[in-house]
Amino acid sequence: MPYFVVLTYLVIALLAWGSVIVLCASVPRWRGALHYAWRMLAGSLAGFLLANLASVALGGIPILIGLAAGVRPEDPASQVVAAFALFGFFLGPLLASPLGFLGGALFGLHRAWDVRAE
């Protein structure tokens, strides 16, 4: 369920970044920022994907381990598996998506600064 919310905001953010890139490319005074803008867009998309992959892994791997170990619903370990699944599949995307997006944008900005410095 949280992916409906998260993906909506991702699309809005990507459209906003795309608009900024188009503005930077079309306004001659802003062309110097184009180098930074597209790297920040690429970094934010990669950060979003990596953060959500980690969130799905946090929820899915304990389920797979529980299935392989034969954990039944009445076992006490099933509560631990359910807690990891709840955090990984429901709360994780709500927390990890914005952090991954912003962290990726900062990484892209840092990479752009490094390339400009060389």
Q: Give 3-56 pLDDT, tens digit per residue.
A: 888 999 999 999 999 999 999 999 999 998 988 999 999 999 999 999 999 999
pLDDT of residue 56: 92
Give the type of residue at 117.
Answer: A
Distance of CA 86 to the CA centre of its chain: 18
The residue whose two tokens read 């803008």 is 37
Q: Which residue has the tokens 């900005």?
A: 109
**In the Cβ-directed half-sphere of 110, how many Cα atoms lie within 13 Å?**
8
Q: What is the pLDDT of residues 70-89, one digit of tens each?
A: 999 898 999 999 999 999 99
Indicate the pLDDT class of residue 1, thresholds 50, 70 and 90: low
Q: How far apart are CA 80 and CA 82, in angstroms?
A: 5
Three-point CA angle 17, 36, 7, nearest 5°: 30
Instruction: Tell me what pLDDT residue 66 has.
Output: 92
User: What does pTM read for this prediction?
Assistant: 0.86
